Structures are given as C-alpha cells and as structure tokens.
Amino acid sequence: MSAKSQICSIWLGSETGILKGVSLTKKQAFNFCEMSCLSRDQEVCVMAWGDPHESEVLVGSVNGTVKTFSTDKGIFTATRECGDPSQGRFTGLAVTDSSMITCVESGLLKVWKEGSTETVEINVGNGICRMQQNPSQRHRVATGGKENPLKVWDLERPDKPIFTAKNVAHDWLDMRVPVWVRDIGFIPDSDKIVTCTGHHQVRVYDPSTPQRRPVLEARFGEYPLTALSLPASQGTVVVGNTHGELAILDLRKGLVRGCLKGLAGAVRGLQCHPSLPLVASCGLDRFLRVHSLEDRSLQHKVYLKSRLNCVLLSSRDLESSSADVSGDVEEVKAEEDEVWDTMETVTEKTKKRAAQKDEATVTEVDGKKKRKLVKK
Amino acid sequence: MDSNEATTSESVSKKKGKTKKVKRKVKSDEAPVQEMEQAEGEETEKKSESGPCFPPTFSVSEIKNKQRRHSMFLKLKEEKRKAPPKEVPKTIENQRIYDETTVNPEDEEVAFDEGTDEFSAYFNRLTNPKVLITTSDRPRGRTVRFCEQLATVIPHAHVYYRRGLALKRVIPQCVSRGFTYLMVINEDRKVPNGLVLCHLPDGPTAHFKVSNVRLRKEMKRRGKDPTEHVPEVILNNFTTRLGHSIGRMFAALFPHDPQFVGRQVATFHNQRDFIFFRFHRYIFKNEKKVGIQELGPRFTLKLRSLQKGTFDSKFGEYEWVHKRHEMDSSRRKFHL
C-alpha cells in the first residue's frame, strides 16, 4: 500500500468516496479506500495538501468528515468531524500552520486549531460555491458563491472582509447582472484575484486599487464555468465549463488563447502543475486527462471508473520519471567520464609528443608548422 | 552457363527426391548455401502453396520425367479441389476500437456505482415506473399519434398536452404526483425528431435524436394492437459505462415483472451508437421455432447528451456530450 501511494503523483476524489492515486510513470491507478464500506455520503467534495511537503492529503466528504491520508504510509491516519451535512457540502479546505480552515455551503467558515476544540467562526454569507486560500499569504482566504460576491477575509481580523467586490454596472437592458462566483484563483506575485462565474464570465479583481469592480472581464462559451486554475507561466488562466470545454484565456487582453480538446463531460476539478506546463482535469465523464499547455495536446488519459470531483497534483509530477531517466544518464555519463579520464592521460602524452614535434619542426618549413598548430 | 545448368540439373535429377527440390537446388547453385536451407524450410511449411514458391516461369509441363510430372499434376489438381479457408470479412463492428470504459461484469467499483446511483430505487424495487409523455408546444398529427402509440407500448404511461408550459415548472409537479419519468417528444416540421427522457426524482436527463419513426399504420404485416400486458424488455449491446447508464434508463421505464402471458417484448438494440426500438409479439410454435409479428411503433434513437440532474440545459452539468468533430472522426469508434 505504501509503495503504491509513494509513486502516485496525482490524487483524485470521486463521488463514490474512493480516493484514487494515479502514477503516470507506471501508468497505473490505485484505489485507496477504507475497507469495503463505501457509501455515497462519503463522497469527496474537497481535497487539499496537509503540509507543504505534500506528504498528507486532506479529504473532505459530504457527511462532514475530513480524513487525513498519508502518502508515505498509504493509509488514512486521522478522521475529524468538521460539521454536519445539514449545513451543506464542503466548498473549501485549506491549511495554515497548525490550523485547518473549512468552509461549507451555508457560509460557515471555521478555523480548526490543532489540538484544541475551539474554533474561530466567520459567517461569509449564504450559497457559497468556493473558498480559496492565498498561497503566498496563508492567513487570507477568498469566498464567493451564488448571489454572494467575492469577499477576501483576513483570519486575524475575522469580523469584516478586507475586500468585497462590487457588482458590475447594469447591462445594456439596464438590468442587474446576476452574481454567481464558481471558482477563485489568486494570481501569484500580485494582489489580484481571478474568478470564474456561472454566467460564463472570467473576472479579475485588484484589491490594491480603490476600484472594487473587476479590472478585467472576459467571456467564454455559453455554459457555466465550473473550474479555474492558474498555470506557472504568468498572464494566463485555464477554465473549464459544464459542457467539457477547457480553454486557456489570456489575462492581459481577455481573449481566448486556445481550447483543450477531449473532455466529454462537465469539468469538476482542474489543476495546473506548479512548475511544468501541464494541466490535469477531471470530471463527470470518469476520465483524468493531462494536457500540455504549450501545444494543447493530450498527454495522458486515464479511465477511473467513478465520477471524479477533485484533483490534486503533487509538485513532482512527471519530474519523478525524468529523475529516474536522468539518474541513468548520469550514471552512464559518469562511466563515460571515467573512460575519457583514462583517455586524457594518453592524449596528454601525444600533446607532449606533438609539442616535441613542433619544437622539432621549428627549424623546418613555416607552412607545415602552421598546419600542425591548426590541427591542435 | 546454360550447359552448366543443364549438367547440374541432370546430375541432381538422378538423385531420389522431390522434383521441387530439383528446382530449389538449381537455384541454390547460383546462390549461397544458406538460401538453400531456408528454401527447404519454406517448402516443408508451405506444402499447399505451390504457386508462389516456384519461379514464375514454372509450369508442370516443363518436368521431363513423365512419372514425376504426372504426380505433380495430380497434386495440383488435389490442391485446387480443396477449398481455401473461408476468410472472416472485416466489418465495422469487428474492427471496433476497443473502448476502455467497457464494463467488466466482476468490477466491484462499477457495481457499487450502479448500485447506488439514481436508478437504484427502481432496481431495488422501491418504486414503480410511471411515465408522463408530452411533446413540444403545438404538436401536429404525426407526433400526437406517435405519443398515443408510445403510451400503449409503455405501461403506466400518460399523455398530456403541453400547453406551452416550461419544463422546469412541469418537473416539480410531476414529482409531487409520483411520476418517475418525463418523456418529451420534440417535433420539427410535423415530424418527431427529438426525445428528452428525464428520470424524475433527481435523475439524469438524456437527450436523443429520433429518426425513422414508423407508426402502426405504416407497418407491413403487423399484428393486432398491443394489449395491456407488461412486456419483456431486451437491451442489446450496451457495453460501455455510458451504455450501461442509458440501458438502465430504458430498463427503468418498464415495470419489473413482465407478464409472459402477453407474449410481448420491447427491444432496444444498440448498434454503432444508434438505438433501434422494436415492439414484437412472439409465439413459440414448438421448442425450436418462434414466430414473431411486429406491433407498435418503431423508431431509432441517437444519444446527444446525458445530463446529470433533472432537465436544465443551461446550468446543468453534462455527464456526456456528443461532440461531432472530436468523437466522430473515426468510423470505428463508438461510445455506447
């Protein structure tokens, strides 16, 4: 079990409650589930890394439990009751140093401290669809949902959000534009936040400016956008909608750079690799697909028999395979170097001989000497 | 060179052996020894194929030795009499690209998935099917008659006139009245061309394209009208995971226990992603012979999309959408 979990580089949560690990190098998928007692109320809603070293996966289920899975040992190590199903499903799970943040659909955002049972509670409003943590400033979270605009909360000052977005101006019929934030992303190295909405809009907000309305608005397709992810390269965002269309949008102009083909069902989970230009997508068509962002081609496709809800990429995705290969290459190179080292000593002698010859030819014709120098 | 060849062939022919070997050795005298060994190997394997083994100018009449010529001739005749093995023709179904989502009957995960999905209430015998059939707004004659005939084929089916109501408002009313299925026949230019099948409590919605509708009047050699007996259901060739979901959807339309007294059977046959619906009455003449007569309407369906949840084409999440340019690029790839 531990051997299987250690080679897995992509983790997925399914509707049947099974945690799946996929190893792209070995082209295998493994199911990690507790015994055979599966039930639909253990359906995985959210997943997050438990620690920066990515050795623990936190899995949040519909019945309100958050389970900790250790990738080294390959078993679930802890279970924690973090709410009950009456408040809705988990919409966000995050970890700061020594505490865990959970958010449910009814708007109850709780910070669970390690060891103690006291929690800090914030009511972020009803109908939350997503809660996301700022990866660089871990005490800041953003929430948004249906008729619930984007709000950025600082957990050290939980009474009021530090930023509330304002709705855009009325449209050309002078009617209020409905709000439905489906997914949120923090742009690295800046204060900006990207959101995708159920009304097929992608908006960029900048809390550092006094403007509370979006800085950029882009539209894609005709169907609700369900998932969003920011790749390692700046200036682009990958979004997916309920029709199975994945698109790369440019955040400078708001144009569609290209579409990633292949999906047949709604996109439920989307994540870009932290360093490589890859994006993993999973959805209702029961497949995991890994696309390359540079040429938009499909790199891997894995059939996993249940509908998939969320995906987590480890930072060492395909690098592990290349590490093995590079290891071999290094070994071969080392051997070759040894061979060349032994050779060099021989060539030094020839150089000496050549030098001696040169000295000998100094007295000879100049042209010949020049040729010999060129040959060296 | 010629004289040399003649002498070698003569010298070899004196030896006892097959005449085939004579020719082989003539060739091999010019070629290295390895080829001769290979040729002998080939010859022992390909005994029946005398044609391609020989140089093209060979014919039986060139053998000078009468007895050997005669035996060769008899052998040739024998081979021609034997029929070549019948080749299996390549069909598109034979050449179908293997679909990795094909369900393995022993798969536990898929069994659990199917055991707890939206149809589990029906398959665990907790609910009985009750179907509401309606059309798009203002249907014309053909569609109306099609709906009436469908209502006779599907037990516990009720036809209601649409009256321009929004489906999203119809669905909660159906749920409160205990319906399990909502079937909407879409009409275009006086001909039914679409079918939306929505499983009611919170189930998936399938959208089909309907073609080749034949009403009872237009069917040749048909039997009398179907009776009220519950028919048996046959679902053919739904092999992939998506096919399983659709097959279960069709199965849940009909009540559980078929009344064999009625001798009626409804067939949903999937071939190349087209689903053919037929309704027959059968009679066993004796143990081995069956007579069937086709009753009832006949139509063809093609799945366009499968949406999770009840009908919500704008905001619903699709489990499968037919994308023509991506999925129809290969003639041998099918999804159901």
Do B113 and A16 count as a contact with CB atoms less than 8 A apart? yes
pLDDT of residue A25: 86
Find chain B residues with C-beta within 8 A of A223's C-beta: 314
A266 touching B, CB under 8 A?
yes
Give the separation between CA B245 and CA B233, rounded to whole angstroms: 16
SS3 A220: coil
Q: Under a CB-based contact definition with an 8 Å cutoff, are residues A267 and B319 in contact?
A: no
Comparing A28-37, A315-324, B63-72, B205-214, the range with the smallest average pLDDT is A315-324
Give the separation between CA B197 and CA A120, rounded to whole angstroms: 47
Phi-psi region of B138 (alpha: psi -120 to 50; beta: other; left: phi over 0): left
Find chain A residues with C-beta within 8 A of B321's C-beta: 243-244, 264-265
Q: Record the tokens describing residue A56, joined without a space.
A: 């623990």
pLDDT of residue A330: 52
pLDDT of residue A216: 93
pLDDT of residue B86: 84
pLDDT of residue B48: 45
A17 touching B, CB under 8 A?
no
Residue-wise burial string across A18-38, b where 16 or more C-beta atoms lie within 10 A, e elsewhere: bbbbbbbbeeebbbbbeeeeb
Taking only Cα atoms into account, the Rg of chain A, rounded to an integer number of angstroms, comes to: 28
Q: Which residue has tokens 């390959």?
A: A74
Touching A: B residues 91-110, CB under 8 Å? 100-101, 107-110
pLDDT of residue A344: 62
Find chain B residues with C-beta within 8 A of A27's C-beta: none
What does each of the 376 residues of chain A score in pLDDT, given as a tens digit?
778 888 888 999 999 989 999 998 888 888 888 766 788 888 999 999 988 888 889 999 998 899 999 988 888 888 888 888 888 889 999 998 888 999 999 989 999 888 777 788 889 888 999 999 998 988 899 999 999 999 999 988 888 999 999 999 999 999 999 999 999 999 988 899 999 999 999 999 999 999 999 999 999 999 999 999 999 888 999 999 999 999 999 999 999 999 999 999 999 999 999 989 999 999 999 999 999 999 999 999 999 989 999 999 988 756 454 444 444 445 555 566 666 766 666 555 554 554 455 454 445 445 454 454 555 4
Q: Under a CB-based contact definition with an 8 Å cutoff, are residues A23 and A9 in contact?
A: yes
Give the separation between CA A257 and CA A266, rounded to whole angstroms: 20
Mean pLDDT of all residues in B124-132 = 93
Q: Which residue has tokens 């999770």?
A: B308
Q: Under a CB-based contact definition with an 8 Å cutoff, are residues A135 and A186 in contact?
A: yes
pLDDT at B212 over 90: yes
**φ, ψ dihedrals at A311, nearest 5°:** -135, 145
Using a pLDDT cut of 70, give the percent of chain B over it. Answer: 83
Q: Under a CB-based contact definition with an 8 Å cutoff, are residues A83 and A64 in contact?
A: yes
Give the separation between CA B99 and CA B109, rounded to whole angstroms: 18
Q: In what order do the strands lie in the sheet with A287-292?
A: A267-272, A278-283, A287-292, A298-303
pLDDT of residue B81: 84
Mean pLDDT of all residues in B137-153 = 93
B111 touching A, CB under 8 A?
no
Give the separation between CA B186 and CA B335, rounded to whole angstroms: 24
Q: Record the tokens describing residue B322, joined without a space.
A: 């037919």
Nearest to A106 by CA among A120, A137, A85: A85
Give the separation between CA B99 and CA B272, rounded to whole angstroms: 13
Amino acid at B292: I
CA nearest to B323 within chain A: A264
Q: Looking at beta carbons, which pairs linking A201-208 to residues 24 or more positions away fall under 8 Å?
A: A201/A225, A202/A228, A202/A237, A202/A239, A202/A249, A202/A254, A204/A251, A205/A150, A205/A163, A205/A165, A207/A152, A207/A162, A207/A163
Residue-wise burial string across B124-161, b where 16 or more C-beta atoms lie within 10 A, e elsewhere: eeeeebbbbbbbbeebeeebbbbbebbbbbbbbbebee
Do B314 and A223 count as a contact with CB atoms less than 8 A apart? yes
Q: Record the tokens describing residue B265, joined without a space.
A: 């059977």
Q: Record the tokens describing residue B182, joined without a space.
A: 């909502």
Indicate the residue of B112, B308, B320 with minimum beta-carbon distance to A264: B320
CB pairs under 8 A between A and B: 59
Q: Record the tokens describing residue A66, joined without a space.
A: 């958050």
pLDDT of residue B5: 43
Do B116 and A39 count as a contact with CB atoms less than 8 A apart? yes
Q: Under a CB-based contact definition with an 8 Å cutoff, are residues A130 and A183 in contact?
A: yes
Measured between alpha carbons, how far is residue A148 from residues A124, A218, A226, B31, B46 in Å? Answer: 9, 20, 16, 88, 80
Give the separation between CA B223 and CA B219, rounded to whole angstroms: 9
Give the separation between CA B214 and CA A13, rounded to whole angstroms: 46
Touching A: B residues 277-316, CB under 8 Å? 308, 314-316
CB atoms inside a 10 Å sphere around CB A63:
17
Find chain B residues with C-beta within 8 A of A268's C-beta: 317
pLDDT at B185 over 70: yes
pLDDT tens digit sequence for B32-56: 444 444 444 444 444 444 555 666 7
Measured between alpha carbons, how far is residue B80 from residues B20, B54, B76, B87, B233 in Å? Answer: 18, 17, 6, 17, 50
Q: Under a CB-based contact definition with an 8 Å cutoff, are residues A241 and A266 in contact?
A: yes
Measured in whole angstroms, the distance separating CA A262 from the mean position of its chain's CA atoms is 20
Strand A108-113 versus strand A99-104 pairing type: antiparallel
pLDDT tens digit sequence for B258-297: 999 999 999 999 999 999 999 999 999 999 999 999 998 9
pLDDT of residue A364: 47
CA nearest to B114 within chain A: A306
**φ, ψ dihedrals at B50, nearest 5°:** -80, -30
**φ, ψ dihedrals at A318, nearest 5°:** -85, -5
Q: Which residue has tokens 């259901």?
A: B233
Q: Under a CB-based contact definition with an 8 Å cutoff, are residues B143 and B190 in contact?
A: yes
pTM given for the model? 0.78
Nearest to A145 by CA among A85, A91, A205, A217: A91
A38 CA: distance to closest CA in chain B (Å): 8
- ipTM summary value: 0.80
Q: What is the DSSP string of A335-368?
A: HHHHHHHHHHHHHHHHHHHHHHHHHHHHTS-HHH
Q: Record the tokens describing residue B296, joined without a space.
A: 């009832």
Q: Under a CB-based contact definition with an 8 Å cutoff, are residues A40 and A16 in contact?
A: yes
Q: List, in sequence order, every residue forming a beta bridge with A67; answer none if it has no partner.
A: A59, A79
Query: Which residues are CB-neighbours of B231 under 8 A, at least 6 positions away?
Result: B153, B155, B254, B258, B262, B264, B265, B266, B279
- The overall longest dimension of chain A from CA atoms, in Å, is 101
Print the SS3 string covering chain B: CHHHHHHHHHHHHHCCCCHHHHHHHHHHHHCCHHHHHHHHHHHHHCCCCHHHHCCCCCCHHHCCCHHHHHHHHHHHHHHHHCCCCCCCCCCCCCCCCCCCCECCCCCHHHHHHHHCCCCHHHHCCCCCCCEEEEECCCCCHHHHHHHHHHHHHCCCEEECCCCCCCHHHHHHHHHHCCCCEEEEEEEECCEEEEEEEEECCCCCEEEEEEEEEECHHHCCCECCCCCCCCCEEEEECCCEHHHHHHHHHHHCCCCCCCCHHHCEEEEEEEECCEEEEEEEEEEECCCCCEEEEEEEEEEEEEEEEEEECCCCCCCCEEEEECCHHHHCCCCCCCCC
